[in-house]
Amino acid sequence: MNDTTQSRGPGQISDREGARYARELTRHLRWLESFTGVALGVLAAASGIYTYLGVRSLLDDTGAWTTFAALSYSLAVSVGIFVFWSYMMRLLPSVRSAASKLGLLLSMALGSVAIIAMSSWLNAAALAGAAAVEQHLAHTVQAYQSELERAHSNAIAGQSLGRDVARVRETFDDLSAQEATGDLSGLAGRGAVFRVLTQKSAELAGLEAQIEAQDEAVDAAFQQGNAVLSRMRSLSVEPGAVEGRSVRFAEEAVRLSGLIAELRQLNVAPLVARAAADLRDSVVLPDLDSSTTEGRAAQSSTIDSVMTLLADRASTLTTAANEVTALPEPSEIEYTPLSAADAVIRYAGNFVPSWAGAIAIDLLPAVLVFVLMVTQAAIRQGMGAQSIEETMTIAEMRAALAAARELDLDRQPTDPSPTPTEIDRQLKAAE
């Protein structure tokens, strides 16, 4: 062989050094390929195991056919992952044209998406499914607690209307006392004006008693709701299988929904609004009972003033009741049980490490593919544009000379064959 070693600039190597560098990388690749298939099979098997666990969490039945179906799916996933990455490791580093590389890279991207769709999310369900379901239970508890507190707050605001009713009742009690002594209409006694005042005072007293009677019911419903919430919190963090806890959690959620509805019904604001309307519109006017014309005129004038006062007080109670009614009502909450896979998807942001591990176990071979691409490119660069004579090893040289000798014998049968001594001399000359 001719010595083609040439001077190179800084950072460059000679053709002979490049060939030696390429052969060294080739030896490394051959050694790595001896166990790459086994490693890829282990990764595919591990992904299949977690895929099996994820599939089992989606299936309700626990029979033999269900187990067989989950096992078949996980086995198909393992084989698919192994075959796909085997193709990529063999073909992508070997192609040289830009179009071929781009096509295989797009194929690898599409295959990676398919692997994530059929395997990675199930792996995540197996890794963090129980924790995701517990996260769902915790979020549900928070939502129920918020709505329970809102319902209780509205009920308490309705109970506070009792003070407004009591204030209006006291007004009519004071006026009736004044009428009894003659300080209001000028006619002492229990005449027509007194009966109108006591009539409305009695209505307000009954409404006030009805409001006060609901204090205990509101407190009892709120205490029961807090007790149910406490049990629901315990179920969300209790050790053990999450499926059984989810069933008991659903039962407690139904009970708590009933208590929230009860608190909404205990809100007396609509009752006060209707009572205020009746206070103004439903008035039974008694006959004027004064014996004189002047007395009856005084009674009529006083009753007109009382009716105006009734309208004002009724308007005040209606405004207060409407303010309570306008408060935001607790929304209807319905607990929806989630499977481990659905919970992992819904609360994916809370389980980023689990998602990363589930995806990495499927897509880690992509890193190996890129490593092979870089290494193969380095081997081609080291080989350069050298002819075959410049890169042949001694063994290859011996084989070539032997082949040439056989060809010469075929063409010239009478020529003597070179002896081994002559072959060694030719090899030394070539070196």
Nearest to 272 by CA among 329, 211, 215, 326: 211
Q: What gap in Å lies between CA 360 and CA 53, rounded to an integer? A: 17
* 149 and 194 housed in the same domain: yes
Q: What is the pLDDT of residues 11-61, one digit of tens each?
A: 445 556 766 777 777 787 788 888 888 888 898 888 888 888 888 777 766
Task: Examine residue 343 and state whether it is found in any structural domain, yes or no.
Answer: no
> Per-residue confidence at 10, pLDDT binned at 50, 70, 90?
very low
Assess if residue 6 is contained within a domain: no
Asked if residue 405 is part of any domain, the answer here is yes
Backbone dihedral angles phi then psi of residue 63, each to the nearest 5 degrees: -80, 180
Closest to 261 in 3D by CA, of 117, 346, 120, 147:
147
Does residue 176 belong to any structural domain of this protein? yes
Residues 6+ apart with CB under 8 A from 288: 192, 295, 296, 299, 300
Q: Are residues 202 and 296 in the same domain?
A: yes
Tally of residues, the chain: 431
The predicted-structure confidence for 344-387, as pLDDT tens digits, reads as follows 888 877 778 888 888 888 888 888 889 888 888 877 776 664 55
Strongest mean pLDDT among 199-203, 240-244, 318-322: 318-322
- Give the position of tokens 């208590």: 259
Query: Got the DSSP string for 182-210?
Result: TSSSS--SS-HHHHHHHHHHHHHHHHHHH
For residues 403 and 383, membership in a common domain is answered with: no
What's the structural domain count of the chain?
A: 3
Lowest mean pLDDT, pick from 7-11, 234-238, 426-430: 7-11
224 and 257 fall within a common domain: yes
The CATH number given to whatever domain includes residue 253 is 1.20.1260
pLDDT digits (tens, 9 = 90+) for 54-100: 887 777 666 777 788 888 888 998 999 999 999 888 888 888 888 88
Q: Residue written as tokens 């626990």?
A: 62
Q: Are residues 221 and 330 in the same domain?
A: yes
Q: What is the DSSP letter of 14?
A: -
270 & 139 share domain? yes
3-state class (DSSP) for residue 384: coil
**323 and 403, same domain (yes or no):** no
Task: Return d(Cα 25, Cα 359) in angstroms, integer.
Answer: 30
Say whether both 302 and 366 belong to one domain.
no
Does 48 fall in a domain?
yes
Residue 53 domain-assigned (yes or no): yes
pLDDT of 381-414, one tens digit each?
A: 766 645 555 556 677 677 777 777 777 765 555 4
Of residues 243 and 423, more confidence is placed in 243
Reported as half-sphere exposure (CB side, CA atoms, 13 A), residue 132 has a value of 29
Q: CA 335, CA 140: separation in Å to the nearest integer? A: 7
- The range of the structural domain enclosing residue 331 comes to 132-338
| Pair 154, 75 in one domain | no
Residue 215 has pLDDT above 70, yes or no: yes
Q: Which residues lie below 8 Å from residue 371, measured CB to CB, with a gap of 6+?
A: none
Helix ranges (H only) for 119-191 are: 121-159, 161-180
Domain contains 325: yes
| 323-328 contacts, C-beta under 8 A, 24 or more apart | 324/154, 324/157, 324/158, 324/160, 324/161, 324/267, 324/269, 324/272, 325/269, 325/270, 325/273, 327/153, 327/154, 327/157, 328/150
* Residues 376 and 316 reside in one and the same domain: no
- Residue located via tokens 């009933």: 258
φ, ψ of residue 163 to 5 degrees: the values are -70, -40
Same-domain check for residues 313 and 211: yes
Gap between the Cα atoms of 235 and 220, Å rounded: 23
Q: Which of 15, 21, 17, 16 is nearest to 375 (CA)?
A: 21
Ramachandran angles phi, psi of 357, nearest 5°:
-65, -40
* DSSP letter for each residue of 224-268: HHHHHHHHHHHHHH-SS-HHHHHHHHHHHHHHHHHHHHHHHHT--
* Predicted local confidence at residue 302, as pLDDT: 67
Domain check: are 277 and 322 in the same one? Answer: yes
Let me know if residue 1 belongs to a domain. no
